[in-house]
């Protein structure tokens, strides 16, 4: 239940941040946060990460739905994961749900965090990336220890 609560909290933070951005900024507007290092730049991403697969909203939504259905079908296996693996899955699910919501509701994903050296992203994207790296680390640790969970 802790991991479901965490995923729900991240999803809510993602939604709240996107609602705030769209209600306080015009499209393509830029708001400096930490000088030139961090700005909020409101963009609508009609593709996947880095704008890849632009205009493929339906396909990207189906991939997200497929991931979520797969996790639901194999949920009994998730109980065998170590805590880090469960945390990683929670982050990935929260991020996938956040961006899926945008794709289904608007036809694009709302992005706004701009580090100037990286494409503009959002909280959901951050959760997916952190979750994916964490899962790779967990699997690597399991392989190195010979654990068969």
Q: Catalytic residues, which ones?
A: 111, 125
- CB under 8 Å to 124, separation ≥6 — which residues? 10, 11, 14, 94, 95, 96, 97, 98, 99, 102, 109
Structure-token pair, residue 57? 């909203």
Per the CB < 8 A criterion, the answer to whether 114 and 42 are in contact is no
What are 70's strand-pairing partners? Answer: none
Q: Which residue has the tokens 């994903």?
A: 109
In this structure, what DSSP letter does residue 121 have?
Answer: B
SS3 of 43-62: the string is EEECCCHHHCCCCCHHHHHH
């Amino acid at each position: 239940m802790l991991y479901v609560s965490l995923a729900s909290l991240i999803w809510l933070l993602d939604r709240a941040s996107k609602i705030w951005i769209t209600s306080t900024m015009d499209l393509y507007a830029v708001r400096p946060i930490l000088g030139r290092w961090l700005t909020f730049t409101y963009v609508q991403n009609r593709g996947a990460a880095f704008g890849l697969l632009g205009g493929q909203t339906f396909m990207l939504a189906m991939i997200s739905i497929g991931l979520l259905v797969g996790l639901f079908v194999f949920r009994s296996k998730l109980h065998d994961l170590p805590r880090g693996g469960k945390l990683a899955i929670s982050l990935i699910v929260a991020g996938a749900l956040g961006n899926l919501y945008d794709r289904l509701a608007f036809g694009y994903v709302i992005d706004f965090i701009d580090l100037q050296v990286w494409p503009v992203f959002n909280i959901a994207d951050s959760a997916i990336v952190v979750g994916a790296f964490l899962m790779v680390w967990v699997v690597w640790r399991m392989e190195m220890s010979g654990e068969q969970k």
